[in-house]
Amino acid sequence: MNNLKAIKSAFISVFYKDGLDVVVKKLHQLNVQIISTGGTREFIEKMNIPVIAAESLTGFPSILGGRVKTLHPNIFGGILARRDDESDMQQVEEYKFKLIDLIIVDLYPFEETVKKGAPDEDIIEKIDIGGISLIRAAAKNFNDVAIISCQEQYSYLNELLEKNNGKTSIEERRKLAAEAFEVTSHYDTHIYKYFAGNSPSSFKSSIKNAQTLRYGENPHQKGYFYGNLDEVFEKIHGKEISYNNLLDIDASIALISEFTEPTVAIIKHNNACGLASRSTLLQAWIDALAGDPVSAFGGIIVTNKNVDKETALEIDKLFFEVIIAPAYNDDALEILKLKKNRIILILKNTDFSSSSFRTLLNGVLEQEKDLKTETLSDLRTVTEREPTKQEIEDLIFANILVKHTKSNSIVLAKNKQLLASGAGQTSRIDALKHSIEKAKSFGFDLNGAVMSSDAFFPFADSVEIAYNSGITAVIQPGGSIRDEDTINFCTKHKMAMVFTGIRHFKH
Among 126, 140, 237, 433, the one annotated catalytic:
140
Active site residue 140: yes
Pairwise CA distance, residues 139 & 181, whole Å: 7
Tell me the per-residue pLDDT of 278-312, one tens digit each, with 9 for 90 and over: 999 999 999 999 999 999 999 999 999 999 999 99
Q: Evaluate if residue 447 carries a pLDDT over 90.
A: yes
Q: Evaluate if residue 179 carries a pLDDT over 60.
A: yes
- pLDDT tier for residue 200 given thresholds of 50, 70 and 90: confident
Pairwise CA distance, residues 345 & 325, whole Å: 7
Pairwise CA distance, residues 17 & 121, whole Å: 24
* Contact between 258 and 374 (Cβ < 8 Å): no
Element (H, E) at 399: helix 389-403
Among 26, 269, 433, 440, the one annotated catalytic:
269
Q: Evaluate if residue 153 carries a pLDDT over 70.
A: yes
Of 58-67, 164-173, 366-375, the least confident? 58-67
3-class SS of residue 139: helix
Q: What is the pLDDT of residue 344?
A: 98
The burial class, CB within 10 Å (0-12 / 13-18 / 19+), for 91 is middle
**Taking residues 53-82, what's their average pLDDT?**
83
Pairwise CA distance, residues 367 & 95, whole Å: 54
- pLDDT tier for residue 63 given thresholds of 50, 70 and 90: confident
Of 54-58, 248-252, 436-440, the least confident? 54-58
Instruction: Please enumerate in sequence order all residues whose Cβ is within 8 A of that of 68, keeping only pairs 6 or more positions apart, or say none.
Output: 60, 62, 129, 130
Tell me the per-residue pLDDT of 475-495, one tens digit each, with 9 for 90 and over: 999 999 999 999 999 999 999
The burial class, CB within 10 Å (0-12 / 13-18 / 19+), for 313 is middle
* 259 Rama class: left (phi>0) / alpha (psi -120 to 50) / beta: beta
Model confidence, pTM: 0.87
* 203 Rama class: left (phi>0) / alpha (psi -120 to 50) / beta: beta
Architecture of the 376-499 domain: 3-Layer(aba) Sandwich (3.40)
Q: What is the pLDDT of residue 1?
A: 47
Architecture of the 5-196 domain: 3-Layer(aba) Sandwich (3.40)
Percent of the chain with pLDDT over 90: 78
Active site residue 269: yes
Tell which residue, 401, 406, 404, 405, has the closest CA to residue 416: 401
Q: What is the pLDDT of residue 93?
A: 87
Pairwise CA distance, residues 304 & 278, whole Å: 12
Q: Evaluate if residue 375 carries a pLDDT over 90.
A: yes
**Taking residues 193-209, what's their average pLDDT?**
87
Which residue intervals of the chain bear CATH 3.40.50.1380?
A: 5-196
Of 187-196, 246-255, 445-454, 462-471, the least confident? 187-196
Instruction: Please enumerate in sequence order all residues whose Cβ is within 8 A of that of 239, keeping only pairs 6 or more positions apart, or say none.
Output: 340, 341, 343
The overall average pLDDT reported for the chain is: 93
**Taking residues 388-407, what's their average pLDDT?**
97
Burial 163-185 (b: 16+ CB within 10 A, else e): ebebbbbeebbeebbebbbbbbe
Which residue intervals of the chain bear CATH 3.40.140.20?
A: 225-347, 376-499
Tell me the per-residue pLDDT of 105-151, one tens digit each, with 9 for 90 and over: 999 899 999 988 899 999 999 998 989 999 999 999 999 999 999 99
Tell which wins on pLDDT, 328 or 203: 328
Architecture of the 225-347 domain: 3-Layer(aba) Sandwich (3.40)
Q: What is the pLDDT of residue 2?
A: 56
